């Protein structure tokens, strides 16, 4: 098996590279390094390039015969997508179409897509299953949902089979701390809290403490990045076993509040964390929790690192290594 991992130098992509490399899969990573790091790619060949460039895509698909393509190269910041939607539609939609069209042209018909819980918009109920209404409320979520719709059409017209994996809150790091999360700027809660614990940040801002939750802070579903990578591996095997195009929600099914994350970080690090009181942010739902029973039942996905303290501990190992 040979796999093309687009965006394999980024956070989730680099963990995917490591997992497949450990399994002996032949790998090629294509990444423009705008948000990733060359030293995070631990296995396989590396091509520095962008999926906006059809010439590079044609060259890569001509040089290698791929069995499956995985796509981790989307922009992911919700706030930025509202301020600059053109950037998100260009990269997340137009550039992804370049990738899909190159796959069709070169006869590659298996695709794993990193989608998002943001396609659901404001939750009508929780936990959120795959049948929940899709009503994204920002350009980021809309860009991902557009590609899910495109993939349905490409399956019908071109025979391109895909699995869309809808992440809730990816978190954690490789247990040994060899790779982890290093977005610039960082916007995710757990690394921000741990940066406050390590002294790289003065404190953590609490955006609202009056939500309709037990402690007044937002509840999110944190899923370990290595468990996400394992779900992608199962999706590959599903497609190779003749599985038809489908989508799965990926989460723990257990939500943790912002306050619970901060307390976990204080337990793991043994350090107190300064909290800065802030105002609510527009569009922050009180609860976002996944129903992942479909992928557990159909693919046998069994998260190994579902405990919050374990997720935080692995992220802390990475933070200390930095």
Catalytic residues: 140
CA triplet 208, 210, 211: central angle to 5 degrees? Answer: 90
CA triplet 76, 78, 83: central angle to 5 degrees? Answer: 115
Q: Which residues contact 24 (CB under 8 A, 6 or more apart)?
A: none
CA atoms within 13 A on the CB side of 76: 25
- CA terminus-to-terminus distance, the chain: 34
Structure tokens at 107: 């006869």
Structure tokens at 140: 């980021």
**Is residue 98 classed exposed, middle or buried when 0-12, 13-18 and 19+ CB atoms within 10 A define those classes?**
middle
> In this structure, are strands 246-250 and 287-288 parallel, antiparallel, or unpaired?
unpaired
Would you say how long the chain is, in residues?
322
| Alpha helix positions (H), 270-307 | 293-299
């Amino acid at each position: 098996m040979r796999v093309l991992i687009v965006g394999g130098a980024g956070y989730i992509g680099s963990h995917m590279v490591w997992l497949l490399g450990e399994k002996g899969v032949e790998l090629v990573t294509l990444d423009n390094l705008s948000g990733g790091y060359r030293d995070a790619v631990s296995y396989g060949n590396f091509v520095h390039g962008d999926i906006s460039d059809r010439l590079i895509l044609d060259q890569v698909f001509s040089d290698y015969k791929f069995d499956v393509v995985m796509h981790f190269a989307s922009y992911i910041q919700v706030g930025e997508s509202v301020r600059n939607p053109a950037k998100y539609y260009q990269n997340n939609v137009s550039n992804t179409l370049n990738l899909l069209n190159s796959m069709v042209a070169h006869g590659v018909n298996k695709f794993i897509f990193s989608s998002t819980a943001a396609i659901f918009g404001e939750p009508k109920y929780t936990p959120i299953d795959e049948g929940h209404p899709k009503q994204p409320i920002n350009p980021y979520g809309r860009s991902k949902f557009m590609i899910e719709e495109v993939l349905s059409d490409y399956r019908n017209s071109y025979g391109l089979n895909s699995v869309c994996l809808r992440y809730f809150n990816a978190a954690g790091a490789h247990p040994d701390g060899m790779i982890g999360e290093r977005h610039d700027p960082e916007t995710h809660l757990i690394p921000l809290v741990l940066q406050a614990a390590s002294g790289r940040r003065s404190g953590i801002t609490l955006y609202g403490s009056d939500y309709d939750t037990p402690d007044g802070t937002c509840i999110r579903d944190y899923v370990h990045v290595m468990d996400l990578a394992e779900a992608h591996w199962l999706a590959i095997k599903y497609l190779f076993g003749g599985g038809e195009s489908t989508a799965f929600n990926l989460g723990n099914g257990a939500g943790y509040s912002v306050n619970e994350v901060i307390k976990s970080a204080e337990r793991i690090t043994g350090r107190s964390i300064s909290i800065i009181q802030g105002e609510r942010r527009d569009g922050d739902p009180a609860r976002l929790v996944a129903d992942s029973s479909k992928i557990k039942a159909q693919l046998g996905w069994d998260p190994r690192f579902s405990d919050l303290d374990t997720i935080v501990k692995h992220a802390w190992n990475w933070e200390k290594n930095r």
